[in-house]
Chain A
Amino acid sequence: MTEKKKHNVFIQGAITPNFIADSIAKHSGKTNIGGHDIFLGQVRNDLIDDKTVVAIEYSAYLEMAEEQFHEIREAAFTKYNLVCMHIYHSLGAVKTGEICLFVFVSSKHRKDAFDACRDIVEQIKEMVPIWGKEIFEDESHTWKINK
């Protein structure tokens, strides 16, 4: 049951496509998996009061966030029939076009992976104390509001 132990979720800066590719490759040995579902959050160039976002600087209440991520994991393993699950979220600055959230869920059959992935992403947005400072071209900023 090593899949269920506490994991380090936070990654300093952007989550790179290479990191994601490596994570996928690491699952080739787990031949009981029949489907993966992946959600990637990307930093968008929102236009706010005529200024364009160029990066988001993420911060978190780390101790609480880690506990919440742990709860989300445990609940998903209880609710869905999953083989494994990985969640990564950025801290610090992530530029527009770069990846800031990587949720990777694997199951025997597709339905559990689809349903769990969506559920986990929604719960991260709702339950985890993470904040994003949206940085504009002129270095001014505003605080990100989730829709």
Chain B
Amino acid sequence: MNINVLLFGSLAEATGKSQLEINNVLDTETLRSKLLREFPKLEKYKFVIAVCKHVVKSNTILHEGDTVALLPPFAGG
């Protein structure tokens, strides 16, 4: 199962990546742990996860082709 991961702002800067493809993750918590293992720097950053453009507050099941975005605190205006 392929999940498209987008990183923004400070998170893209910290990892050097704005887009990744992650395989074999069933839900957002597994994805989070996998990303933290791959990019330990992310540990220091506050972020929320959006699945298909909707912020999820709890662990969410992922489906093939889903786009998951890691969003640092918003700073518009």
Contacts and interface: CB of A to CB of B under 8 A. Distances in A.
Interface residues of B, number: 14
B10 interface: yes
Contacts, number: 61
A51 B69 CA distance: 31
A126 B74 contact: yes
A144 to B, nearest CB: 4
Interface of B is mostly: loop
A127 B74 contact: yes
21 contacts: A59-B8, A59-B9, A64-B50, A64-B53, A64-B69, A89-B77, A101-B76, A121-B77, A124-B76, A125-B74, A125-B76, A129-B74, A130-B77, A131-B9, A131-B72, A131-B74, A132-B76, A143-B10, A143-B72, A146-B75, A146-B77
A128 B69 CA distance: 13
Given A124-B76, A129-B74, 6 more contacts: A64-B69, A67-B53, A128-B76, A131-B8, A143-B72, A144-B75
